[in-house]
Amino acid sequence: MTYREALKIQIHALDNIYDNAEALRDCTDYDNLGKDAWNLTRGRISEIIGMLRKHNGLLKDKEAYDVLKGDYSIKVTIKDI
């Protein structure tokens, strides 16, 4: 896996977390604290995604196509929590 591929995997995972945070925020009816927490989460994730996308766009070929050792894919199951 190249650095760029690993970076894109991270961005995709954060996009999914961003979407999930929206859905969970919409499920929170009990208090504004829950909604505020999810909105804050979404805002910060959005900032991070933007920075990583910009970083991806500025990568030089040598860095982008460096082959990484290890597995940088993301898999989460209920057993992980």
25-44 pLDDT, tens digit each:
988 877 788 899 999 999 99
Residue 21 CB neighbour total at 10 angstroms: 20
- Separation of alpha carbons 62 and 53, rounded Å: 18
Give yes or no for residue 58 having a pLDDT over 90: yes
Which residue range(s) make up the domain with 55? 3-80
pLDDT band at residue 77 under the 50/70/90 scheme: confident
Q: How many domains does the chain have?
A: 1
Stated pTM of the model: 0.84
Tokens 């992980």 correspond to: 80
